[in-house]
Amino acid sequence: MTRLLLGVTLERICKAVLLLCLLHFLIIMILYFDVYAQHLDFFSRFNARNASRAHPFFNSSRPNGTVPSYANQSATEKPLQTCQETPPGLVGRLLIEFSSPMSMERVQRENPDVRQGGKYTPPDCLPRQKVAILIPFRHREHHLKYWLHYLHPILRRQKVAYGIYIINQFGEDTFNRAKLLNVGFLEALKDDEEYDCFIFSDVDLVPMDDRNLYRCYEQPRHFAVGMDKFGFRLPYAGYFGGVSGLSKSQFLKINGFPNEYWGWGGEDDDIFNRISLNGMKVSRPDMSGTMAGPSGPTLAHPAAVSTRFTKIQNTKMTMKRDGISSLQYRLVEVSRQPMYTNITVEIGRPPPRLAR
C-alpha cells in the first residue's frame, strides 16, 4: 500500500515538473518572439532613417506622407539657373481669332499661376528681366479680354517675369495715349522699383508668333513689324506705333513720351525722333513680329492732324521740356484685378484749339 501511494505521488510530481517545463518553454518562446519583433522594428526604423537621409524628399515625420515641393528643394539645394535666351517651350506661329466668346472668368481659369494684379514669375528659372507691360485704355473691355487671353500664355512660355498695367483715362475728354504711358511708367515703378523693362502696347494688338520675345534689347524695340490692318507691312519706315519696348535707362534718356499729342496720331513719330536724336536706333524682330487685332486702323483725331506735323518737326526743341519731367496727373484709383492692375488717372484736357 505504501509503495502504491509512493508511486502515485511520484507520478504527480513528474506531471507537475512536466507542466512547469512546458510553461517555461512557452514563456521563453514568448520572450524570444518579443525580442525578435523589437529587432525587426529597430531595423525598419533604422532603414527608414537612412532612406530619409539619402532621399530628403521622403520624410516619415511629415503628416500624411507629404513631401516638400520641388521648387523649395531646388531653392535650398540647387540654385535656379538663368532662363534660357530662347525659351524651349515656344510654339511659333499662333492661330489668333476674335470671334469666340471670351470672358474674364475664362481667362482666369486658363492662367491659375498668375498672381493678383496680373503678375507672374517663372518658377523654374531666374528671369533675365522684370517687365512692366503698359496699356493705354478707355472703354475697350471687349478687346482687353482677348488681349489677356492670348498674352498671358505667351508671356509665361517666354519665361518673362512681368506685371500688366491698364492705364485707364478718367472722364470723356480727348484721349492722350502717350501721356497715359508716361503715367504708367511712373506708377509701375511705384508698385515695383525693380522693373527694368517697359513694353507699351495697344490693347487691340496681339502677337501672331510667340518667338516675338517681349523683353528689352540694347536698342529700343519695335515689336509690330507688320499688322494685319496694314497688310502685314509697316505703313512707313519710321513707324514706331502699336507695340514698343524701352529699358528704364532708354526711356529716361529720351525724357519719356511727349504729353501734348491729344487724339490719335503723331506721338509715335515723335518718340521715333527722340530715339534717333539721342543716338539710338530702333531694332525690330524678323517676320515673327506680325500682329493681329480685332479692329481696323485707328484714325487720328482731326484736331491732332492739323498740328502734329509741326510738333514732329520740333521734337529736338520740345523733348527736354515735354515728357516725364513735365508730367502732371491725378491718380484716381488703383485696383488690383486677378489678371491685371487697373490704374485710373485724370490727365487733364487739351488746349482750347484742340477741344472737340
Q: What is the pLDDT of residues 175-191, one digit of tens each?
A: 999 999 999 999 999 99
**Domain membership flag for residue 82:** no
Residue 57 corresponds to which amino acid? F
According to the model, what pLDDT value does residue 221 have? 97
Assigned C-alpha cell, 161: 517675369
Q: Is the pLDDT of residue 27 over 60?
A: yes
**Domain membership flag for residue 94:** no
DSSP 3-state helix, strand, coil percentages of the chain (rounded to 5)? 40, 15, 40
According to the model, what pLDDT value does residue 6 have? 63
Q: Which segment of 17-26, 36-45, 142-151, 236-245 scores lowest on mean pLDDT?
A: 36-45
**Domain membership flag for residue 354:** no
Assigned C-alpha cell, 11: 507520478
Cα–Cα distance for residue pair 230/97, rounded to 1 Å? 17
Of 54 and 149, the structure prediction assigns the larger pLDDT to 149
**Domain membership flag for residue 81:** no
**Domain membership flag for residue 66:** no
For the chain, what is the domain count?
1
**Domain membership flag for residue 23:** no
> The sheet that has 226-227: what strands, in order across it?
206-207, 290-292, 226-227
Q: Is the dihedral of CA 180, 327, 324, 303 positive or negative?
A: positive
Mean pLDDT of the chain: 82
Q: Which of 79, 76, 83 is nearest to 126 (CA)?
A: 83
Q: Is the pLDDT of residue 45 over 80?
A: no
pTM: 0.75
Question: Sorting pLDDT into bands at 50, 70 and 90, what band is 265?
Answer: confident
Cα–Cα distance for residue pair 314/337, rounded to 1 Å? 40
Count of C-beta atoms within a 10 Å radius of residue 226: 17
| Structural domain that includes position 326 | 115-294+306-346
Q: Is the pLDDT of residue 10 over 80?
A: no
**Domain membership flag for residue 248:** yes
**Domain membership flag for residue 26:** no
Assigned C-alpha cell, 315: 521734337
Cα–Cα distance for residue pair 20/250, rounded to 1 Å? 99
Question: Sorting pLDDT into bands at 50, 70 and 90, what band is 310?
Answer: confident
CATH at 225: 3.90.550.10
Q: Which of 179, 177, 217, 224 is nearest to 197 (CA)?
A: 217
